Amino acid sequence: MKPPFKRLTLIGIGLIGSSIALAARRKELAEEIVISTRSEATLDRARELGLGDRYYLDAAEAAEGADLVILCVPVGACGPVAKWIAPCLAPGAIVSDVGSVKEAVVRSMSPHIPQGVHFVPAHPIAGTEHSGPDAGFAELFENRWCLITPVEGSDADAIARLAAFWTALGSNVEEMDPVRHDRVLAITSHLPHLIAYNLVGTAHDLETVTQSEVIKFSAGGFRDSTRLAASDPTMWRDVFLNNKDAVLEMLGRFSEELAALQRAVRWGDGEALYKAFERTRYIRRNIIEAGQETPAPDFGRHVKEPGE
């Protein structure tokens, strides 16, 4: 059967880009995969890994003639890259992205999308703390959500084709308004990362214990926070700068809840603490029931690596 896309161009070849390349190759979703990144060393590594069929440092050259172009770059770079590739985009091509922020990406990319080219933003909610072309694996998107956030006037056929692409990669696909997307992700992803960065930074700055003690006696909660805090700093810097209103709103709500818990601890209010902890347990149960986590005990659980 003929692949749904003749030429897939991936601009940026980190964890998400390399995983798309591997999964698209496995599922035969494109006749040709073209890779572009601004780093010559990264491009050479992508070539060594066989992630694509052609490789370019010039994103515009890579985008030429493609019928699907996906920007896998930090959200702060989406606007400049869209401007760069605009003159080379083919009429009828679909241009998308994988950014964790949508309203700012829509605002920065839309002005550069030529007439006749279909802009369909998207966000695969999948990832690890690892980055670079070696981090990718074809199974990354299986049973994970991909949110498609169409802009005003988005072509229905282009939306359907992109949704089918992500479904073929293994994702559960749903459409969502860009503004709502940013509010939802602010609490489910952005705020937890901000808290993790702060927690690990606080532990690093403590003068009353040594760093070796923090590392040696790390329990599950702190250990899991270090996983989040090990994520790509460039990507997360751009996320917070481009979704600051929603993040600040959720951070304010979090601060109010934290203050209430602080008062309960200070005054020995065990009943208030118990009620707060009991109220939140159902979220964990629902995540497990939704298939987004396993109920298996996690004592430094071994995650199966690609190829194992």
pLDDT at 195: 84
Q: Is 6 exposed, middle or buried (0-12, 13-18, 19+ CB in 10 A)?
A: middle
Helices (H), the chain: 15-26, 40-49, 59-63, 78-85, 103-109, 156-168, 178-185, 191-205, 211-216, 220-229, 233-242, 244-266, 270-289
Q: How far is the C-alpha of 59 from the C-alpha of 144, rounded, in Å? A: 28
Give the pLDDT confidence of 115-126 residue by residue, as tens digits: 999 999 999 998
Closest CA to 90 of 53, 55, 110, 116: 116
Q: What type of residue sits at position 307?
A: G
Residue 14 three-state SS: coil
pTM exceeds 0.75 for this model? yes
Give the pLDDT confidence of 276-285 residue by residue, as tens digits: 888 877 777 7
Domains in the chain with CATH codes: 5-176 (3.40.50.720), 180-289 (1.10.3660.10)
Mean pLDDT by 10 residues, the chain (308 residues): 94 96 97 96 96 97 97 95 97 96 96 96 88 93 94 93 97 95 89 83 68 64 72 85 90 91 93 86 72 58 43
Burial of 71-92, coded b for 16+ CB within 10 Å and e otherwise, reads bbbbbbbbbebbebbbebbbee
Q: What is the DSSP letter of 208?
A: S
pLDDT at 11: 98
pLDDT at 204: 72
Residues facing residue 70 across a β-bridge: 10, 96
Q: How far is the C-alpha of 247 from the C-alpha of 194, rounded, in Å? A: 9
User: With the C-alpha atoms ordered 262, 267, 270, 275, is the resulting torsion angle positive or negative?
Assistant: negative
User: With the C-alpha atoms ordered 183, 282, 123, 132, is the resulting torsion angle positive or negative?
Assistant: positive
User: With the C-alpha atoms ordered 229, 233, 235, 237, is the resulting torsion angle positive or negative?
Assistant: positive
Burial of 105-139, coded b for 16+ CB within 10 Å and e otherwise, reads bbebbeebbeeebbbbbbbbbbbeeebbbebbbbb
Q: CA of 61: how far to CAs of 41, 73, 88, 108, 296, in Å?
A: 18, 17, 7, 21, 47
User: With the C-alpha atoms ordered 290, 296, 297, 298, is the resulting torsion angle positive or negative?
Assistant: negative
pLDDT at 187: 87
* β 68-71/122-124 pair status: unpaired
Give the pLDDT confidence of 21-37 residue by residue, as tens digits: 999 999 999 999 999 99
Residues facing residue 36 across a β-bridge: 11, 56
pLDDT at 1: 81
